[in-house]
Amino acid sequence: MYDLCRDNLDENAKVIHDKLDEFTEDQINITNGMLSDIILRCRSEWVADYDTNKFAMNILKNNEKISCELCGYHSIHEVFYIKNRVNNTRLRVGSSCITNYELQPFGKGKSVKQARKEYLQSENEIQLSKQYPELRKRLEKWNSRLNDYDVLIPINIETEYNAIKEKIKHEITRYIEGKAKNFDELELSLEDERSILKRLDEYNYNNKGKEFVATKEIKVWLERNHKKRTLEKLKQSGYVNSETIADIQEKNFVEFVLSIIRTKLKNTSLSVNHNLVNDIFVITGLEDNVQLKCGVGKTLSTFGEEILSKENPLVKLTVANVVIVSEPLNSNSTRRIIDRLKKKNYKSDIRILTGGFGKEYDYVARNEINLQIKRTEMVIVENLQRFIQEFKHFALDISITNVQQRLNDYVDKSESKKYTLKYLTDLRDTDFNKRKY
Ligand SMILES: [Zn+2]
């Protein structure tokens, strides 16, 4: 047996078969006893020869045919490359020999059929990239391509655009898997691609630069600020509307909005500026140089309809309304507002107390206001910020309603505890840091 193997290592099966005829009876018996073991071992020695190509197989072109080096059959055009991993013999064989000798060159998990399929798909992929060299790259960039436009693309066009991608991918798969024999179907979806690109260009051209159009910058800003819902709403129409305006604080858009606000307020004393750092509008041009502020979001949600020039807006852009939604810019403005109120209020039943509690007492720092009822001399302490909210428009001559009456009502309605002036003074003198009264 050893002799047989050594002498005929490089011969094909036919030669070995002929040699077996020359065996003596004893040799045949021995060989038979060993045979199944030998065959199993021999089979496992043959593995796919990937040195030839990455599929270890080839389908010969142009009707070319070669002979199988295992059985000698001379007319194979589907060639499998196998290699003996013990002695490095390389053979080119047909698929029937792989099947008949029960070889598993591709390992246990992979059949000849599977190997053939992978080979054919790779061939198709080559054909595809020859025909459409840029197609795969275009598909990869498909979604990000929408970011190239100056304006946000509305959802109906985007949906159509994405559907065409799926269609193209589907046709590619059909071609690669051999289900489509030519590029006719794929060509149709590529036609769709060209027409949707044309539509996108047109949409961009027709809408860019228009007032309130959702720009690329707004889109990026919304994404960066995780305002997904606003972006979705914006995609419905492609334009900012009263539903979305308050959520958009992109720099250029805010500047644009500011120019509208200025135009609408141009016949008043007010002047408005944007403080980018704190994202607020600063309002000046008020009595005693009082400065107010209003958050950009709050301004947009309050005056959105007016800014969008809607008919009969919910809140009009007037000096009064601007003052009502705003608050003092700083403690200086707070003090000026309170001082003005004190002056206007001198005949009232209520006295506004800001000092006289020891020199360390600062009502603004403590955010509280002391209101003394003249008749009983008792004092209530209220939240300064809320108090300003209620009374600043009186201080700034916006409201002509009787401020004395309003103050009386305010104190009457208050459920705050009443203190004597002495009690508060003693408390603040000795322990001004504690808020307990
Ligand atoms: Zn063969």
Spacing, Cα 231 to ligand 1 middle (Å) = 65
List, as one string, the DSSP characters of 145-166. Answer: GGGGSSBPPPHHHHHHHHHHHH
- Same domain for 346 and 291: no
Q: Does residue 392 lie within any of the structural domains?
A: no
Which of the two residues, 3 and 354, has the higher pLDDT score? 354
Same domain, 171 and 184: yes
- Residue 18 has what pLDDT? 75
Interval between CA 23 and ligand 1 midpoint (Å): 24
Q: Are 275 and 222 in the same domain?
A: yes
pLDDT in tens, 208-261: 999 999 999 999 999 999 999 999 999 999 999 999 999 999 999 999 999 999
The boundaries of the domain holding residue 28 are 2-119
The two tokens of residue 111 are 């059949």
What value does the mean pLDDT of the chain take? 91
Residue 394 lies in a domain: no
Instruction: Answer yes or no: is 352 within a domain.
Output: yes
User: Quick one: 178 and 106 in the same domain?
Assistant: no
Q: Residue 428: is its pLDDT beyond 90?
A: no
Q: How far is the CA of 102 from the centre of ligand 1 (A)?
A: 12
Same domain, 320 and 357: no
Cα of 123 from ligand 1 centre, angstroms: 24
Neighbours of 430 (CB within 10 A): 9
Q: Could you tell me which of 318, 273, 281 has the C-alpha nearest to residue 299?
A: 281
Which two three-digit tokens encode residue 374? 């003249």
Q: What is the pLDDT of residue 28?
A: 77
Q: Under a CB-based contact definition with an 8 Å cutoff, are residues 399 and 320 in contact? A: yes
53-78 exposure pattern, b = at least 16 Cβ within 10 A, e = fewer:
eebbbbeeeeeeeeebbbbeeeebeb
**Rounded to the nearest whole angstrom, what is the distance from the C-alpha of residue 1 to the centroid of ligand 1?**
23
Q: How far is the CA of 97 from the centre of ligand 1 (A)?
A: 4
98 and 140 inside one domain: no
For residue 91, report the distance from its CA to the centre of ligand 1, in Å.
10
Are 12 and 107 within one domain? Answer: yes
284-302 pLDDT, tens digit per residue, is 999 999 999 999 999 999 9
> For residue 72, how far is its CA from the centre of ligand 1 (angstroms)?
6
- 93 CA distance to ligand 1 middle (Å): 5
Nearest to 291 by CA among 407, 368, 392: 392
Contact 290, 224 (CB under 8 A): no
**Per-residue confidence band for 30, with pLDDT thresholds at 50, 70 and 90:** confident
Ligand 1: centre distance to CA 47 (Å): 16
Question: Does residue 128 belong to any structural domain of this protein?
Answer: no
pLDDT for the residue 110: 87
CB-CB contact of 344 with 403 (8 Å): yes
**C-alpha to C-alpha distance for 108 and 102, rounded to whole angstroms:** 11
Closest CA to 325 of 345, 354, 352, 304: 304
Write down the pLDDT at residue 302: 96
**pTM of structure:** 0.75
Q: Is residue 45 part of a domain?
A: yes
| Structural domain includes residue 396 | no
How many whole angstroms separate alpha carbon 35 and alpha carbon 435? 101
DSSP tag of 66: B
Same domain, 25 and 115: yes
pLDDT digits (tens, 9 = 90+) for 110-148: 889 999 999 999 999 999 999 999 999 999 999 999 999
Query: 75 CA to middle of ligand 1, Å?
Result: 9
Q: Are residues 159 and 247 in the same domain?
A: no
Number of domains in the chain: 4
Average pLDDT over residues 65-79: 92
Final residue before a domain boundary, out of 328, 345, 365: 328
Pair 335, 323 in one domain: no
Centroid of ligand 1 to alpha carbon of 105 (angstroms): 14
Residue 264 CA, ligand 1 centroid: distance in Å? 91
SS3 call for 234? helix
Q: Assess if residue 179 is contained within a domain.
A: yes
Question: How far is the centre of ligand 1, averaged over its atoms, from the C-alpha of 113 (Å)?
Answer: 17
Q: Do residue 142 and residue 107 come from a single domain? A: no
Residue 301 shares a structural domain with residue 346: no
Which carries the bigger pLDDT value, residue 85 or residue 38?
85
- 212 occurs within a structural domain: no
